[in-house]
């Protein structure tokens, strides 16, 4: 029987640097080889650190309780594409949630998360924020490079256009929240600054906005952080102080022992079911409170 390779925190940190900072793939594999002890071990560990496209969805795309479709809608600077999913035969108008992807773009995992949101009784729209750049490519390295070139102002404007679209959609109650993960968590924070009409924001391990901009936030926020995520967590204290100083409505939760991307169940090394389940239960209750 082949022994499962041991994954250390140093390996996870190296992967985080590769996917979010300056480390390119060649240097990442060199570092992973040193940490793992051999090239063969590194080759076995690398897929466990990454997200697996083969991982089964928690909510199948053909779930009979839902209706889902790929749609296009007006963005701020052109046509946006996204995945819209909602409960089948709702009893009345529903609150809506924008589901914002990581820096891998709109992939099967985020579509799955959108379906999970819909099963909780909301209309969910997962936009592809690479729509105006040709859409999310299948190559994740290419996708990450594309994100590094996006104009944040234009991206936030597309987020606000998404909120506007959902607020006016037939069958919606007009209230719109946003949930985002990693890059998407950072975008939720930026959207909260830019949109006085956002009704609720939930950011999972997302980069904080500039402290000087926090005074503009109107939406109540729920902020989830991973205890081991030193890169993102370095900004928590300043964000908390700015939110407190502005009298904002917010909750901050830090999940001890969890890594960045702990909610992503397609990543064997970083997924933390206990943290993910607790954060999800808190998120659903938060959206029900503010979106109806």
pLDDT of the residue at 1: 43
Q: Tens digit of pLDDT for each residue in 134-149?
A: 999 998 889 988 998 9
pLDDT of the residue at 14: 80
Identify the residue with better confidence: 267 or 180.
180
Quick one: average pLDDT of 88-107?
A: 95
Q: What is the tally of structural domains in the chain?
A: 2
Q: Pick the range with the lowest mean pLDDT from 2-6, 156-160, 246-250, 260-264.
A: 2-6
pLDDT of the residue at 175: 98
Residue 261 lies in a domain: yes
Rounded Cα–Cα distance for residues 228 and 82 (Å): 32
- The answer to whether residues 91 and 222 belong to one domain is yes
Residue 59 lies in a domain: no
Domain membership of residue 143 as a residue range? 66-291
Q: Quick check: 12 and 23 in contact, CB under 8 A?
A: no
- The answer to whether residues 268 and 161 belong to one domain is yes
- The answer to whether residues 100 and 242 belong to one domain is yes
Confidence at 158, pLDDT banded by 50, 70, 90: very high
pLDDT of the residue at 26: 82
In 3D space, the residue among 229, 207, 224 whose CA is nearest the CA of residue 280 turns out to be 224
- Other residues' Cβ atoms within 10 Å of the Cβ of residue 71: 13
DSSP state of 145: H
Q: Quick check: 75 and 132 in contact, CB under 8 A?
A: yes
CATH number at residue 126: 3.40.50.1820
Residue 2 lies in a domain: no
What percent of the chain is predicted at pLDDT more than 90?
74
- Other residues' Cβ atoms within 10 Å of the Cβ of residue 74: 13
Identify the residue with better confidence: 36 or 285.
285
pLDDT of the residue at 286: 98
What are φ and ψ of residue 100, in 5° steps?
A: -105, 125
Identify the residue with better confidence: 41 or 70.
70
- The answer to whether residues 34 and 140 belong to one domain is no
Helix or strand (DSSP H, E) at 217: none
What are φ and ψ of residue 132, in 5° steps?
A: -80, -5
Quick one: average pLDDT of 250-278?
A: 94
pLDDT of the residue at 95: 98
């Amino acid at each position: 029987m082949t022994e499962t390779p041991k994954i250390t925190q140093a390996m996870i940190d190296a992967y985080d640097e590769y996917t979010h900072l300056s480390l390119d793939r060649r240097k990442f594999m060199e570092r992973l080889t040193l940490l793992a002890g051999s090239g063969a071990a590194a080759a076995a560990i690398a897929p466990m650190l990454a997200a697996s496209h083969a991982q089964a969805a928690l909510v199948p795309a053909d779930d009979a309780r839902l209706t889902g479709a790929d749609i296009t809608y007006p963005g701020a600077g052109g046509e946006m594409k996204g995945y819209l999913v909602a409960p089948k035969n709702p009893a009345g108008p529903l609150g809506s949630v924008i589901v914002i992807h990581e820096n891998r773009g709109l992939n099967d995992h985020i579509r799955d998360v959108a379906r999970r949101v819909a099963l909780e009784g909301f209309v969910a729209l997962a936009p592809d924020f690479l729509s105006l750049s040709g859409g999310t490519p299948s190559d994740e390295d290419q996708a990450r490079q594309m994100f590094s070139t996006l104009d944040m102002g234009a991206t936030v404007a597309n987020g606000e256009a998404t909120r506007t679209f959902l607020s006016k959609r037939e069958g919606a109650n007009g209230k719109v929240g946003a949930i985002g993960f990693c890059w998407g968590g950072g975008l939720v924070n930026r959207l909260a600054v830019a949109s006085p009409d956002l009704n609720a924001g939930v950011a999972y391990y997302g980069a904080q906005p500039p402290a000087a901009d926090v005074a503009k936030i109107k939406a109540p926020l729920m902020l989830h952080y991973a205890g081991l995520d030193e890169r993102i967590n370095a900004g928590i204290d300043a964000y908390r102080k700015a939110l407190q100083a502005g009298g904002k409505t917010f909750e901050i939760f830090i999940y001890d022992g969890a890594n960045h991307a702990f909610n992503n169940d397609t990543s064997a090394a970083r997924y933390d079911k206990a943290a993910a389940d607790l954060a999800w239960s808190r998120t659903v209750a938060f959206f029900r409170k503010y979106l109806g």
